[in-house]
Amino acid sequence: MSTQNSLNELVNLFNLIEDYYIEGFHRHHSDVESVEQEVDPENQLSEINNEISSCRKCGLFKERHNTVPGEGVINPLVMLIGEGPGADEDRTGKPFVGRAGIYLDSWLKAIDLNRSENCFIGNIVKCRPPDNRDPLPEESSACLPYLQRQISLIRPKAIMTLGRIATQILTGEKSGIGALRGRIYSYQGIPLVPTYHPSAVQRNTSLRGAVWQDLQELRSILQDG
Ligand code: SF4
């Protein structure tokens, strides 16, 4: 073999090694990027929101103006869960923005929480039940998987259910909220504290003391953890 041939072979060998490392790096790098995209909770949450926005799994889609998937931070201290959107929420697509929402914000503030910094707020059903009626069992069942996926994804430190419907559905109990509150439950391994719905407390201010106890319970769970 001539010296020139040997040199050519050596150059080819270096080119091959270079190609291997560059291609290997790009392949590895793009694999990492796509896995990161897959597991990015923000992306997955957007994916759930997209599914909800076109959902027709129950009859509530017929009269909605907007779906209300819920909103807040990933890994919140608390996920607050009501039963369903009202008129203001249906109009804006945002959870708890009417009078009850403003009142709920004052509850959060009382225990140093803030919906934009450390909470996620959602509902059992993502479309407004007509005339603010309770969601029917088949509507709640159809919509519940979205909530379950949201909870698994955002992993709140604690859950607070607001009112009878959300509490019954997530605890599996049948009693009224007056009997169900005052205890700590567990949902997907996350402590769950039930309390009254803010609208109910606005109608009946004698419930304020019980809500304050429930908020203290919630605060002590957050401090213990
Ligand atoms: S309430 Fe839930 S299940 Fe029913 S249409 Fe809306 S998003 Fe779908």
Confidence at 8, pLDDT banded by 50, 70, 90: low
Residues 10 and 110 in one domain: no
- Mean per-residue pLDDT, 34-38: 53
Confidence at 224, pLDDT banded by 50, 70, 90: confident
Confidence at 14, pLDDT banded by 50, 70, 90: low
Residues 101 and 173 in one domain: yes
Range of the domain at 24: 1-39
Residue 152 belongs to a domain with what CATH number? 3.40.470.10
Which residues contact ligand 1 via a Cβ below 6 A?
52, 55-58, 60-61, 67, 125-127, 139, 142-143
Rounded to the nearest integer, the mean pLDDT of the chain is 90
Give the per-residue pLDDT at 39: 73
**pTM, full prediction:** 0.84
Give the per-residue pLDDT at 25: 46
Atom of ligand 1 nearest to the CA of 64: 6
Q: CB of 98 within 8 A of CB of 89?
A: yes
The count of structural domains within the chain is 2
- Taking CA atoms only, the protein residue closest to ligand 1 atom 4 is 58
Residues 54 and 163 in one domain: yes
Q: Which two tokens stand for residue 50?
A: 């997209």
pLDDT digits (tens, 9 = 90+) for 131-185: 999 999 999 999 999 999 999 999 999 999 999 999 999 999 999 999 999 999 9
Pocket test of ligand 1: the residue of 54, 56, 89, 134 to mutate, having most ligand atoms within 8 Å of its CB, is 56
Residues 19 and 106 in one domain: no
pLDDT digits (tens, 9 = 90+) for 197-221: 999 999 999 999 999 999 999 999 9
Residues 116 and 14 in one domain: no
pLDDT digits (tens, 9 = 90+) for 76-130: 999 999 999 999 999 999 999 999 999 999 999 999 999 999 999 999 999 999 9
Atom of ligand 1 nearest to the CA of 84: 1
